[in-house]
Chains A and B, each alone.
Chain A
Amino acid sequence: MPDERALLEVRDLRASIGSYQILHGVSFDVRAGGTTVVLGRNGVGKTTTLRTIMGYVDQTEGAIAFHGEPILGMAPYAIARRGLGFVPEHRGIFKGLTVGENLRLASPDESDWEIGMELFPALRGRLDDYAGGLSGGQQQMLTVARALAQSPELLLLDEPTQGLAPLVIDEMVTALQQLSSRTTILLVEQNLDVARRLADDAVIIDDGRTVAAGKVAALEEAADIERYLTVSMAGAGA
């Protein structure tokens, strides 16, 4: 039986970047032990929502609580130290560092890298290679493995399948399914098939606001979920 208490609570979140207000009221819960997906079209505020949770956006209002403790306004490193891991859009690896150095930055203790190596064995033989020389899929695997080296309690993933080949998407989804039994995941995804395979709960954002939240299956029955998405079915390899 999954734990039903909210690990992360986001309430009426508003955020601006420069003079542009991106979020106008985003609210949702992430319960511990599950995978929650944030769905929505391009530019509706999904990435900004994750970046605001991680402390990367300065102009904010509303409330974010992790384990009931407020974290809005804290520096990103302090939020990460609370137990949040972040895999950003466009990977965020350090291309001038080797694979091993990328992992060492997350944790100097090599035993902490093991979970990432188990999920993505392709990385094991490439520790001394520069990360910039990896394929796009391997770079994405490295970003996830690096976040996992810190054993985050909640892993924020921003479109982890974006730009990947269908076979690699399948590999990534399988790895994330295995991971979801150990770590709570908050996922931004436009690919509905990927979302269906990974998530129990969904939040739909449109124009910087939450328009629906609940179980994925229930939302699909109750709402015209694809109306809020750009990509619907293609490419998941499922």
Chain B
Amino acid sequence: MDLGTGVTLLMNGLALSAILFLLASGLTMIFGLLNVVNFAHGAFFLMGAYVGVALFRDVGLLAAVVGATLSVALLGFVTERFLMQRFYSADSVMTAHLGQLLLTLGVSLCVTEVVQIAAGPNLLPTGDLPGFLNDRIGLVGGGYVDGYRATIILVGIVVFVALAAILRRTRTGLIVRAGVEDADMVQGLRVNVRRSFTATFVIGSAMAGFAGLAAALYYRGTFVTLGEEHLVLAFGIVVLGGLGSYLGSAVGALLVGLATVFISYWWPPGQTFIVMGLLAIVLIVRPQGLFGKEVARA
């Protein structure tokens, strides 16, 4: 591999990492605070992709970003407020987890079916991106990155910094970080943690919707298995980074995104196998993930 190809692949890998980070950080926040394994997250990502692409084709990029993010945020709100909250008070952790698993799986199937009925089973292409997103930016050794990939890398960095600032510098962030450790105790300090649950679920869902559009623009189209394919990677990233850790999600997304792109270049059929194999090895060595804490959950 020459330097130019390596640099181009690196930039592609960083762009994919940024998309995976947007998806996985929402998933890890929801798991960390609500203790919910959200199987609907991939369907939210898919819905964001379809709503975004439809608006992008008919209206424009800004409408696509706003529409994909807000529509999925609304779907997340309805799911959490009217469905998920019924399972927080289950008799036992096992009952709660089973209920949440079945519920989110059901939501995932419903959303995916609705998308498929509305948009059909075939690839929905994005069409041409606006000029500046298509422009090639030359890099060392003859490598390059297109405007879209450069933009999404930047967006990933901005979201990471913003998320870190919110979690570290605001009271909401303090509540979320404390809630990840012990949501019951947070309630004992006069905090309506259910409201934080809803806010976290909505923000996580909105990020999935935005990530769906970002992925569709990355691939220049969307298809019905987009959600489930990326959900598998996102779950891997969340577990690899450590459950509930946004920093872990960022590092995990970088590793998985880069590994996916480089392995696809060398040996495309082995992409999923090798990425998942690497995840398995890391987890054998460090079961709590890279940034996870060895905390027994009640």
Contacts and interface: CB of A to CB of B under 8 A. Distances in A.
A108 B171 contact: yes
B193 to A, nearest CB: 7
A18 B191 contact: no
B182 A94 contact: yes
Contact of B189 (A19, A75, A146): A146
Contacts of B293: 95-96
Contact of A77 (B171, B177, B190, B295): B190
A146 B191 CA distance: 14
Contacts of A78: 192
A104 to B, nearest CB: 6
B187 interface: yes
B192 A97 contact: no
B58 interface: no
Contacts of A105: 174-175, 178, 186, 189, 191
A92 interface: yes
Contacts of B171: 104, 108
B185 A75 contact: no
Interface string A53-68: 0111010000000000
Given A97-B174, A105-B178, A56 B189 contact: no
Interface string B88-126: 010110000000000000000000000000000000000
A80 B189 contact: yes
Given A94-B185, A104-B174, A75 B190 contact: no
Contact of B192 (A75, A102, A104): A75
Interface size class of B (residues with CB under 8 A): 20 to 34
A86 interface: yes
A77 B185 contact: no
B185 A92 contact: yes
Contacts of A55: 187
Interface in B256-290: none
A116 interface: no
Contacts of B146: none
Interface residues of A, number: 29
* Most chain A beta-carbon contacts within 10 A, residue among B89, B185, B188, B293: B188
A76 interface: yes
B91 A80 contact: no
A21 to B, nearest CB: 13
Contact of B185 (A88, A108, A150): A88
Looking at chain B's contact residues, the main secondary structure is helix
Contacts of B185: 88, 92, 94
Nearest to B184: A56
A101 interface: yes
B181 A75 contact: no
A168 interface: no
B194 interface: yes
A145 to B, nearest CB: 12
Given A18-B91, A101-B174, A105-B175, A76 B181 contact: no
A215 interface: no
Given A18-B91, A75-B194, A80 B174 contact: no
A92 B194 contact: no
Contacts of A104: 171, 174
A81 interface: yes
Contacts of B91: 17-19
Nearest to A19: B91
Given A94-B181, A95-B181, A75 B174 contact: no
B191 A77 contact: yes
B190 A80 contact: yes
* Most chain B beta-carbon contacts within 10 A, residue among A17, A77, A85, A104: A77
A106 interface: yes
Nearest to B171: A108
Nearest to B191: A77
A5 B91 CA distance: 36
B89 A58 contact: yes
A77 B192 contact: yes
Given A96-B293, A101-B174, A80 B92 contact: no
Interface string A127-168: 000000000000000000010001000000000000000000
A76 B193 CA distance: 10
A56 B298 CA distance: 13
A76 B174 contact: no
A221 B185 CA distance: 38
8 contacts: A17-B91, A54-B188, A76-B188, A94-B182, A97-B181, A104-B171, A108-B171, A146-B189
7 A-B pairs with the lowest CB-CB distances in the bound complex, closest first: A76-B187, A86-B188, A80-B190, A92-B185, A18-B91, A77-B187, A94-B178
Interface of B: 89, 91-92, 171, 174-175, 177-178, 180-182, 184-194, 293, 295
Given A77-B188, A80-B190, 11 more contacts: A58-B89, A77-B189, A80-B187, A88-B188, A92-B185, A94-B182, A97-B177, A101-B177, A102-B178, A104-B171, A146-B189
